[in-house]
Amino acid sequence: MQTSPKTLKKIFATRLLAVTLCLVISLSAVITPARGFGHADPISDIFDSIASQLADQGIASNIGDVTNENWMSFPGLYFEKWTTVGDPTTAIGKMTFKSPINFSDPDTQAFLLDLQNQMEMGVGSIELDVSTAAGFQNQPATLVMYKLPLGITFDQLVVSDNDGNILDITQYVDEATFSQDPVTGDVTFAVAHFTKFEISPKPLYIYLPLIRR
């Protein structure tokens, strides 16, 4: 199958950004830009570009706040998925990492550039494949699923792997962190590390009339 020019252009742009990021980070380890003296912050410029690319894919983030001063220990990184690009009212889910992220790792950089293919969010479902990014593995995070029907309980939360196998939820989620906002319907819970989390529908009970003999 022949790759389209549009796809080739996107692949080239992604690889160019990855190479540029690696080069800038390597140079920054040797030369630290002085702020306040007219020198640009190359790390900030690169991550501003990544933030812009993610926004074009409907992924809001604070990754544009990464600078030369915090890129090796960036706190509070989050990603929020919007179903309509540029419209925050269409947000369906959000993940916020509890521990600082080190962006100096090349696998982490490549992971960010391909985030659209690594992260999936739907109504009541959040999945992040961190198998290729050591910097994101075993990272605790807080997940929010927006605007779900009221009355959702912890026993409706299902954890599974990439093959659809059901996993032991106690190894991933502390029930004490699970809650639902009674007004907005937002469901929030903390996870020890990533895989796929989804809210299953409540079982339907069919009540049959008692038949007397």
Answer yes or no: is 112 within a domain. yes
Answer yes or no: is 170 within a domain. yes
pLDDT at 84: 96
Q: Over its length of 213 residues, how does the chain's per-residue pLDDT go in tens digits? A: 455 544 444 444 444 455 445 544 443 443 344 444 444 688 999 899 999 999 999 999 999 999 999 999 999 999 999 999 999 999 999 999 999 999 988 888 888 888 888 999 999 999 999 888 888 888 999 999 999 999 999 999 999 998 889 999 999 999 999 999 999 999 999 999 999 999 998 765 555 555 555
Answer yes or no: is 209 within a domain. no
Answer yes or no: is 213 within a domain. no
Is this model's pTM higher than 0.85 or not? no
Range of the domain at 40: 5-199
Answer yes or no: is 205 within a domain. no
Answer yes or no: is 211 within a domain. no
The total number of structural domains that make up the chain: 1
Answer yes or no: is 9 within a domain. yes
27-44 confidence digits (pLDDT tens)? 344 334 444 444 468 899
Answer yes or no: is 192 within a domain. yes
**What is the C-alpha to C-alpha distance for residues 45 and 64, in angstroms, rounded to an integer?**
8
